[in-house]
Chain A
Amino acid sequence: SQKIEQNSEALNIQEGKTATLTCNYTNYSPAYLQWYRQDPGRGPVFLLLIRENEKEKRKERLKVTFDTTLKQSLFHITASQPADSATYLCALEDTGGFKTIFGAGTRLFVKA
């Protein structure tokens, strides 16, 4: 069956370090993969999209990689700040292409 897996345990890091979050998927062949940020009590907010023919994408302190052979995406936040503390959701298009399927998210805590 199709599955998206993200680290269920929270990630705790020190301010200034690089946070790395993992997203693995099985039985999908998505044309693209997305990352969203969700703060408590708020809706998810789109951060980055990476297509299947792109190995890496950057936006300010964010970097996403996409390995279609490993069926894995890594999401990096460099020079992390306490304001980066949130839940980060991985998402990809369903096989039919009509809807976006989300992972359960990884909670990130950045300590000052």
Chain B
Amino acid sequence: GAGVSQSPSNKVTEKGKDVELRCDPISGHTALYWYRQSLGQGLEFLIYFQGNSAPDKSGLPSDRFSAERTGGSVSTLTIQRTQQEDSAVYLCASSLDFNADTIYFGEGSWLTVV
């Protein structure tokens, strides 16, 4: 596609439910990143994919968070047993490869846990 596409754009869920957030990167981009941004805060790195593998999962805040990427394209970030502190914007970004100078962001998935 022309840009990084994320869905859903907004999600309200009840505490304790699982949620899945989807990212469709720019076609041909091998590197894919997930970030989290809480209200008024900076971007917090979660996980990085190169192709289908995730060399760096260091930012995942707990074992309730997981992510996968299949076919070197679409990625899914899953949050199990959501908590209120998980409420944030989840931003996906992609780049040509991990050496690329520029990363391109999607518009984010706004998650609210009530």
Q: Using a CB–CB distance below 8 Å, which chain A residues touch chain B?
A: 32, 34, 41-46, 49, 89, 94, 96-105
Chain B residues in 8 Å Cβ range of A97: 98-99
- Asked if residues B101 and A49 are in contact (CB atoms below 8 Å), the reply is yes
Tell me the bound Cα distance from A100 to B44 in angstroms. 10
Return the chain B residue nearest A47 by Cβ: B102
Tell me the bound Cα distance from A44 to B4 in angstroms. 12
Chain B residues in 8 Å Cβ range of A101: 45
- Asked if residues B105 and A44 are in contact (CB atoms below 8 Å), the reply is yes
When the two chains form the complex, which single residue of A44, A46, A99, A105 contacts B48, counting CB atoms closer than 8 Å?
Answer: A99
- Asked if residues B105 and A43 are in contact (CB atoms below 8 Å), the reply is yes
> A97-B98, A99-B33, A100-B33 are known contacts. Are A46 and B104 too (CB-CB below 8 A)?
yes
Instruction: Return A90 CB to nearest CB of chain B, in Å.
Output: 9
When the two chains form the complex, which single residue of A49, A94, A98, A102 contacts B42, counting CB atoms closer than 8 Å?
Answer: A102
Most chain B CB within a 10 A radius of its CB, from A42, A44, A99, A104? A99
Q: List, sorted by A's number, 9 A–B pairs whose CB atoms are closer than 8 Å.
A: A34-B101, A34-B102, A43-B107, A45-B105, A97-B98, A97-B99, A98-B55, A99-B59, A102-B42
Chain B residues in 8 Å Cβ range of A100: 33, 45, 103
Chain A residues in 8 Å Cβ range of B108: 42-43
Known: A43-B105, A43-B108, A97-B98. 4 other contacts (CB 8 A): A32-B101, A97-B99, A99-B45, A102-B43
Report B55-104 residues with CB < 8 Å from chain A CB.
55-56, 59, 91, 93, 98-99, 101-104
